[in-house]
Amino acid sequence: MNRPFGEQSDREPTVGVRQEPTQLEYSHGVPNVGANIAFFVALFACLVISLEVGRRSGRKAFGSERAHPSGLGTVEAVTFGLLGLLLAFTFSGAATRLDTRRGQIVDEANAIGTAWLRIDVLPTDAQPKLRDAFRRYTDSRIAVYQTFSKSGLDAAQAEYARSTILQQEIWTQAVAACRDVPPATIVFLPAVNSMFDIAATRLAATQMHPPGIVYVVLALISLVCGFLVGYEMGATEIASRSHMILLALVLSFTFYVILDFEYPRLGFIRIDNFDTLLVQVRASMG
């Protein structure tokens, strides 16, 4: 058997299944829709304030002659270039992780389906109990993620704990059944192992996010950019409020989408529809 998150072990555990972590991503103060919207509003307000402060500073600095300060264009180019680069990498990484999670749901559906089919190589008298355990395990795996969306963290944690107990039960039964048919060990046990591994892989994937300091740096650079834009606007008699609001909206909304990508079961961007693949596998079990 493999250990959590794919670490290899040269010997088989004496009690069957490895000890899985029981923490879901949602146990670490992960933002939800409300928190994301609050962040969007807060960042938008800060950007508008930064733009206005920059505009007023620019008005004072330019004075009556409206002379353009030397080097301002270079500072703006470097700052906006850095912000664009960081946003591009962060956005791309979040989108990639979203696609990875979708793929992992497909992988788990395939792994469970393969292991289910290979039950046929086991002795006939061992198959009914294993098939029943597989049905319950698949139900639990579906419920782990769906329950969170409907009933919250506590219910999801309880369901995840139930799925780890069922892994123990399935592995114990599988090892016992394979003793009577040694060739089945080569065919069936690796399939069961893969089925458990993908569950651990999905858990690990939910905890893979950029460090919080990345978002702090992005927010700070965004505020600096807002200040510089406002400062530049100070060269004009009448500032374009619509352009200031548009810039604040664009940057704030980009941050919001990135957070939604990072937590696709908590915001408006969802991967719940991919769970139907597991539901279809469960339906094929009868």
DSSP state string for the chain: ---GGG---SS--SSSS-------GGGS----HHHHHHHHHHHHHHHHHHHHHHHHHHHHHHTTTTPPPTTHHHHHHHHHHHHHHHHHHHHHHHHHHHHHHHHHHHHHHHHHHHHHHGGGGS-GGGHHHHHHHHHHHHHHHHHHHHHHHHH-HHHHHHHHHHHHHHHHHHHHHHHHHHHHSHHHHHHHHHHHHHHHHHHHHHHHHHT----HHHHHHHHHHHHHHHHHHHHHHTTSSS--HHHHHHHHHHHHHHHHHHHHHHSTTTSSS--GGGGHHHHHHHHHT-
225 domain residue, yes or no: yes
Q: Which domain holds residue 278?
A: 31-284
Give the pLDDT mean for 140-155: 77
Please indicate, yes or no, if residue 275 is contained in any of the structural domains. yes
Is 16 contained in some domain? no
Instruction: Confirm whether 24 is domain-assigned.
Output: no
Q: Is residue 10 part of a domain?
A: no
pTM above 0.85, yes or no: no
Tens digits of per-residue pLDDT, 91-147?
Answer: 999 999 999 999 999 999 999 999 999 999 999 999 999 999 999 999 999 988 887
CA dihedral sign of residues 237, 238, 240, 245: positive
Mean pLDDT of 219-227: 94
Average pLDDT value for the chain: 84
Q: What is the pLDDT of residues 23-54, one digit of tens each?
A: 554 444 455 667 788 889 999 999 999 999 99
Is residue 89 in some structural domain? yes
| Count: domains in the chain | 1
Residue 23 in domain = no
Domain membership of residue 18 (yes or no) is no
Per residue in 233-278, pLDDT (tens digit) is 887 777 678 888 999 999 999 999 999 998 888 778 888 888 899 9
